[in-house]
């Protein structure tokens, strides 16, 4: 319902849970978090040129239909203006 508030609540709950952990368990959890961060960075470094091209094509496939509609509307407006006022 309120995704921003629920994220904040979940963050607060995880901080409370983490503060109640034993120092050994907290250290273990820190190591797991660092390992997850390293794996995420490694995945991001594995992006190739083809991956970037695919992302660019995906963005263009989202934007181009709206641009075409905009140009069609502008063309119709100019065409109707020409027919009505410049004849």
Q: What is the pLDDT of residues 34-53, one digit of tens each?
A: 898 888 888 778 888 999 99
CA distances from 23 to 13, 26, 34, 64, 66 (A): 18, 5, 16, 54, 55
Q: What is the pLDDT of residues 69-84, one digit of tens each?
A: 999 999 999 999 999 9
Q: What is the DSSP letter of 86?
A: -
Listing DSSP states for 58-81 in one string gives HHHHHHHHHHHHHHHHHHHHHHHH
């Amino acid at each position: 319902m309120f995704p921003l508030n629920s994220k904040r609540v979940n963050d607060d709950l995880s901080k409370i849970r983490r503060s109640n952990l034993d120092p050994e368990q907290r250290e273990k959890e820190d190591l797991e978090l660092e390992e997850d961060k390293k794996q995420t960075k490694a995945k991001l470094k594995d992006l190739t040129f083809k991956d970037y091209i695919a992302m660019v094509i995906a963005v263009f496939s989202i934007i181009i239909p709206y641009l075409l509609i905009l140009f069609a509307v502008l063309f119709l407006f100019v065409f109707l203006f020409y027919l009505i006022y410049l004849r």
